[in-house]
Amino acid sequence: MPTRLAIVNSPIDATSTSAWAELTALHSSFSPDLRGWFAADAGRVERMSLPLGDLHVDLSKNLVTDEILASLVKLAEQTGVADRYAAMLAGEHINTTEDRAVLHTALRRPADAEPHLIVDGQDIDADVQEVLGKVAAFAERVRDGEWKGVTGKTVTHVVNIGIGGSDLGPVMVYEALKPYANAGIEARFVSNIDPTDIAQKTADLDPETTLFIVASKTFTTLETLTNARLARQWMWDALVASGAISGDDASKTDAVAHHFVAVSTSLERVAAFGIDTDNAFGFWDWVGGRYSVNSAIGLSLAISLGPDVFGDLLAGFHTVDEHVRTTPLEKNVPVLMGLLNFWYGNFLGSQSHAVLPYAQQLNRFPAYLQQLTMESNGKSVRWDGTPVTTETGEVFWGEPGTNGQHAFYQLIHQGTKLIPADFIAVVNPAYALEDGGQDVHALFLANFLAQTKALAFGKTAQEVEADGTTGPLVAARTFAGNNPTTSIFAPALTPQVLGQLIGLYEHITFTQGIIWGINSFDQWGVELGKQLALQIAPAIQGDAEALAAQDASTQALIEYYKANRK
Ligand code: F6P
């Protein structure tokens, strides 16, 4: 990607470009034909298969011709994708509504990166390395047993209390890399303000060996602070009941100091909660919540998986950052995948995008991507405040294969909606098991390959008849094919590979945001609900005036609640 630096003030309207006109013309005569394209073009697969770090990305089963791809790449050029990326890396305040730089890529720059990145007069590299060093040192103290609880016992469980970006990244990575957890420390994650979450996650824990990490960028989030108070009370009650602490104020403060640490940009609020700021790990307003798993927000990972694994994860992200920075647009994998998503959503009318990991360890990856993609690009105004000129963010969803096959694949194969899907698989499993001499993981991968093949090429009525089917059943058993998929294959789910995967989707998201003219780094759309919840809470708890202020439906629902609450 060329790195001409420019301050991009106003978004370029994609619909006003010559590339858009070209795509419109190509679309008017477009008739997808993966069978025909594959038959006529022996080089298609090789041409459309690209490396990205350790990932092998096969784009050949997408509904594009070379001509369409070339026009899409032109659209990226004409909407300033490269310039905006360069502006982000340089620390320009591309998060316009919050007047902030966007520097999650700085979190994974190598320790010896030169020259240092200086933004707004601040040495970003030095700041990042200082916090990473503090995280690693603390993680080692916990892992090797030097850090002890209030009764002198070592830590067996870390419980991360956070929500959104302060939860989804850590829990997804922990699930994915659990085979690397080698210190006998289990991580758990509490996010929901539904009291069930914390009650169930602490039910079998020993407070003397549990370390809570309160993870909140702002340290104002209702769910997280409520859960943190519940955890603190749970710990105090249990320690007093067992006689481990007396229960006086000094003993309670001491217990918090031994069992609570925090990750936040606001150390004042951490102190106000009662957590010693010596045990707090900072980060910066230029890290968006959903882009923060590389920051101290990953503390639970550094403890449970180890600082080296965490470092390898960051290195994986950096590989993708470098790929995006240095690779021409036509070979730039995240840019191309973003452009394909754009083609499907803006020209072929698709509304959603499935992410289907053929790796059980990635079971939380679709949930993680939902925040990354939809909180970033679910917008209808552009970064200068003007309305968008086209459709924007698609709905991301998914489940690990093969579970999805037995649930919703029917609709993808034979429904009326176009649902592009990304299939993600690894060659070597974490657990290589055999079933009567049969490699079970090979069987699993056969399903990944079968599904992408069936979606692409379908089954014609003639082929169905050739199998002996007749009459109305022929139509029911016919598969139209031409359902687009991207296959992402990697040697194994290592920390580096996981970092590359996450980085890939971060940059896909950014590419789409730029083309739509969207600021992918704010999230004003979550604010109204938060404000209303605070207004409604008193109404549920008996405040007549607050109840009267609600609309008729909300009032009726509150009355139902009051009538049924035991
Ligand atoms: O839901 C909105 C949001 O602000 C997310 O963007 C963020 O990841 C989450 O809440 C948690 O915020 P915090 O880390 O400040 O508690």
What share of the chain has pLDDT > 90, as a percent?
Answer: 98
Residue nearest to atom 9 of ligand 1 (CA): 164
Give distance in angstroms: CA of 42 to centre of ligand 1.
48
190/182 Cα distance (integer angstroms): 22
Q: Is 523 in the pocket of ligand 1 (CB under 6 A)?
A: yes
- Ligand 1 atom with least separation from CA of 162: 16
Q: Is 218 in the pocket of ligand 1 (CB under 6 A)?
A: yes
> Would you state the pLDDT for residue 191?
98
* Residue ranges in the chain whose pLDDT is less than 70: 1-8
Give distance in angstroms: CA of 231 to centre of ligand 1.
20
Give distance in angstroms: CA of 173 to centre of ligand 1.
18
Sign for the pseudo-dihedral over CA of 326, 328, 332, 336:
positive
Give distance in angstroms: CA of 233 to centre of ligand 1.
24
Q: Is 97 in the pocket of ligand 1 (CB under 6 A)?
A: no
> Would you state the pLDDT for residue 1?
62
Give distance in angstroms: CA of 163 to centre of ligand 1.
6
Mutate which of 217, 265, 509, 531 for ligand 1 pocket (most atoms within 8 A of beta carbon): 217
> Would you state the pLDDT for residue 10?
87
Per residue, the 3-state secondary structure of 138-177, as one string, reads HHHHHHCCCCECCCCCECCEEEEECCHHHCHHHHHHHHHH
* DSSP character at residue 374: I
Q: Would you list the DSSP string of 311-367?
A: HHHHHHHHHHHHHHHHS-GGG-HHHHHHHHHHHHHHTS---EEEEEEE-GGGTTHHH
- Ligand 1 atom with least separation from CA of 375: 6
Q: Is 169 in the pocket of ligand 1 (CB under 6 A)?
A: no
Residue nearest to atom 6 of ligand 1 (CA): 289
Give distance in angstroms: CA of 290 to centre of ligand 1.
8
Residue nearest to atom 5 of ligand 1 (CA): 164
Residue nearest to atom 8 of ligand 1 (CA): 165
233/357 Cα distance (integer angstroms): 39
- Mention every residue, 6+ apart, whose C-beta is less than 8 A from residue 117: 91, 103, 106, 109, 123, 124, 125
Mutate which of 263, 526, 528, 530 for ligand 1 pocket (most atoms within 8 A of beta carbon): 526
Q: Is 295 in the pocket of ligand 1 (CB under 6 A)?
A: no
Cα 365 to Cα 356, 357, 432, distances in angstroms: 9, 8, 22
Q: Is 302:139 a contact under the CB 8 Å cutoff?
A: yes
Active site residues: 375, 406, 530
Give distance in angstroms: CA of 194 to centre of ligand 1.
17
Q: Is 290 in the pocket of ligand 1 (CB under 6 A)?
A: yes
The H-or-E segment that residue 451 falls in is helix 440-457
Q: For residue 502, how many C-alpha atoms fall within 13 Å in the half-sphere facing its CB?
A: 33
Q: Is 520 in the pocket of ligand 1 (CB under 6 A)?
A: no
> Would you state the pLDDT for residue 269?
95
> Would you state the pLDDT for residue 6?
40
Q: Is 221 in the pocket of ligand 1 (CB under 6 A)?
A: yes
423/363 Cα distance (integer angstroms): 13
Q: Is 217 in the pocket of ligand 1 (CB under 6 A)?
A: yes
pLDDT, tens digit, 9 for 90 and up, residues 132-141: 999 999 999 9
Sign for the pseudo-dihedral over CA of 305, 308, 309, 314:
positive
pLDDT, tens digit, 9 for 90 and up, residues 198-237: 999 999 999 999 999 999 999 999 999 999 999 999 999 9
How much is the pTM? 0.96
Q: Is 266 in the pocket of ligand 1 (CB under 6 A)?
A: no
What amino acid occupies position 306? G
Give distance in angstroms: CA of 360 to centre of ligand 1.
27
Residue nearest to atom 3 of ligand 1 (CA): 164
